[in-house]
Amino acid sequence: MSVRVRLAPSPTGNLHIGTARTAVFNWLFARHHQGTFILRIEDTDQERSRQEYTDNIFEGLKWLGMDWDEGPYYQSERLDLYRAAIQKLLDAGLAYKCYTSAEALTAMRDAQKARKEAPRYDNRHRNLTPEQEQAYIDEGRSPVIRFKIDDNRVISWKDMVRGTVTWKAADLGGDMVIARAAGDGIGQPLYNLAVVVDDTDMNISHVIRGEDHIANTAKQILLYEALGGTVPEFAHTPLILNTEGRKLSKRDGVTSISDFKSMGYTADGLGNYMTLLGWSPEDSTQEVFTLADAATGFSFDRVNKAGAKFDWDRLNWLNSQYLHKLEPAELLPLVDPYWKEAGFTFDLDADAPWLNPLAELLRTSLTRLDEAAPTAELFFKDAVDYDEKARSQLANDGVDQVLEGILAALPDTLDTDAAMGLIKQVTKEKGVKKGLVMRSLRAALMGTMQGPEMVPSWLILHQRGVAKARLESALAIAQD
Ligand code: GLU
């Protein structure tokens, strides 16, 4: 089986998590079968499509590692193909020009509503006589093109996720518009028609898309038949739901991949999480995996029918798993923008001797990259702000002695052994408890009693050249 799948986003907004998850499933399926993953930009809606959204989609897909093998194709560059297909349907008597006015359509829908019927076009212009048609043309009316839907048909397909799906053609809303009006010619071709022409032309073997497209699939199957194309296989993936169990929407706040990125999620963590939105590996205890690994075991047999609830805790946990494993050389470029935004001054190359241990110290406490700014702030500041708890620690008896002892014996270069040795030495020398020395150092160097481990923090501050000044200013407070 030669697998050719496509992602067909409309550039009417930033890359949405739902579209990205569809991309992930298409990509996994393509990679599993050594198939081809195609990118097609569905930009026929000129009013709503924007270049910045197209750029955002490319950026998001690349960031996630969803590399495509063919495309991007742009529907806006393929309009002739759609018009030719529409002409073919007109010539074959499978489509017709409909002159029904907007007012007549509204009146028809209002009447249907009053009768508590579902809105549908009543096919009133399906069989106009040439005279009737001429009369509308003379009136200057501009027709849409409608594709005839036989209400008696029942459409059925074997969905890779949902099993057999059956739709009554009578529930599809009457003859469907496949092109907008434009004078007396064929206007802008519409979604269902363009998709079928493209999927046929691009030899798409499997259409993998969100469950919200099921009714479109029924319509599209009728169009494949009418245009003589081969009907592909379909997989309708479950919707992503918010915590209340409703479809995740813009109202839920963060929904676009660029938002997740700027919130500090990693591409690997988010990609891993999206894979689990509806799919689970054979060994369901396995939660952390690369997309390449997931591709090896991917099949639609393990994709759920039920909606997938978006679980922030699980996403955070997965993201932290990736962050905890990152080497300084991998983590530093990722936190760099957050540190810059926070106004920290540093140079990734020149400051590597203290930034590398800082990255190592911070990574295990991070859930999201943005947390690296507040957590690291104390290392970047030149002077410490001593909070109340630190001040009260510094006011304890003996602290001035401890700090004096440390300062007196502070070597130029400090490593873990030297730092521990120094702590031990001062403990003994001053006859105090080790805890007092540790707490005094923490208060003096970090200005707060919480935060990252003390000794590695000390070494970093020392390497940065600010430890001594901090110990001195703490001593001044302690002596006060
Ligand atoms: N342009 C459609 C969308 O963004 C594509 C649906 C499909 O995959 O056919 O939802």
CATH code, domain with 472: 1.10.10.350
Shared domain check, 208 and 161: no
Gap between the Cα atoms of 123 and 127, Å rounded: 8
d(CA 305, CA 95): 35
Substitution candidate for ligand 1 out of 22, 26, 42 with most atoms within 8 A of CB: 42
pLDDT value, residue 300: 97
Question: Per-residue pLDDT tens for 252-265?
Answer: 877 899 999 999 99
**C-beta of 40 in contact with ligand 1 (< 6 A):** no
> Structural domain tally of the chain?
5
Domain hosting 376: range is 326-380
Please give the distance of CA 290 from its chain centroid, rounded to a whole number: 16
Same domain? For 278 and 357 the reply is no
Residue 414 lies in a domain: yes
Residue recorded with tokens 């798993």: 321
Residue 1 pLDDT > 70: no
323-373: pLDDT as tens digits? 999 999 999 999 999 999 999 999 999 999 999 999 999 999 999 999 999
Q: Comparing C-alpha atoms, which of 394, 395, 396, 356 is closest to residue 376?
A: 356
Query: Angle, nearest 10°, between helix axes 372-380 and 328-341?
Result: 80
Ligand 1 within 6 A of 42 CB? yes
Residues 409 and 419 in one domain: yes
Query: Domain with 308 in it: what CATH number?
Result: 1.10.1160.10
pLDDT single digits (tens) 392-411: 999 999 999 999 999 999 99
Does 45 lie in the same domain as 103?
no
Residue nearest to atom 4 of ligand 1 (CA): 9
184 and 316 in a single domain? The answer is no
Percent of all residues in the chain with a pLDDT value above 90, rounded to a whole number: 93
- The catalytic position among 62, 158, 168, 250 is 250
Q: Is the CB of 198 under 6 A from ligand 1?
A: no
Structure token pair of residue 309: 């609830």
CATH of the domain at 29: 3.40.50.620
Torsions phi, psi of 33, nearest 5?
-100, 15
Same domain, 174 and 119: yes
Q: In this structure, are 90 and 118 located in the same domain?
A: yes
Of 175, 191, 207, the one marking the end of a domain is 191
For a ligand 1 pocket test, name from 191, 220, 234 the mutation site with the most ligand atoms within 8 angstroms of its C-beta. 191
Q: Judge if the beta carbon of residue 18 lies within 6 A of ligand 1.
A: no
Residue 250 annotated in active site? yes
Q: Give 18 Cα–ligand 1 centroid separation in angstroms.
A: 11
Q: Is residue 271 part of a domain?
A: yes
Q: Which of 195, 197, 200, 211 to mutate to test the pocket of ligand 1 (most atoms within 8 A of CB)?
A: 195
Does residue 245 sit within a domain? no
* Summary mean pLDDT of the chain: 95
Q: Answer whether the bond into residue 72 is a cis peptide, omega within 30°.
A: yes
Question: Would you state the pLDDT for residue 480?
Answer: 82
Task: Indicate the angle between helix axes 328-341 and 352-363, nearest 10 degrees.
Answer: 90
Ligand 1 proximity of 9 Cβ (cutoff 6 Å): yes
181 and 254 together in one domain: no
Instruction: Specify whether 184 is located in the same domain as 220.
Output: no
- So what's the pLDDT on residue 255? 84
Contact assessment for residue 82 and residue 197, using Cβ atoms and an 8 Å cutoff: yes
The rounded distance, in Å, linking the Cα atoms of 359 and 361 is: 5
DSSP structure class, residue 207:
E
Cα 97 to ligand 1 centroid, rounded to whole Å: 26
Same domain? 267 vs 416:
no
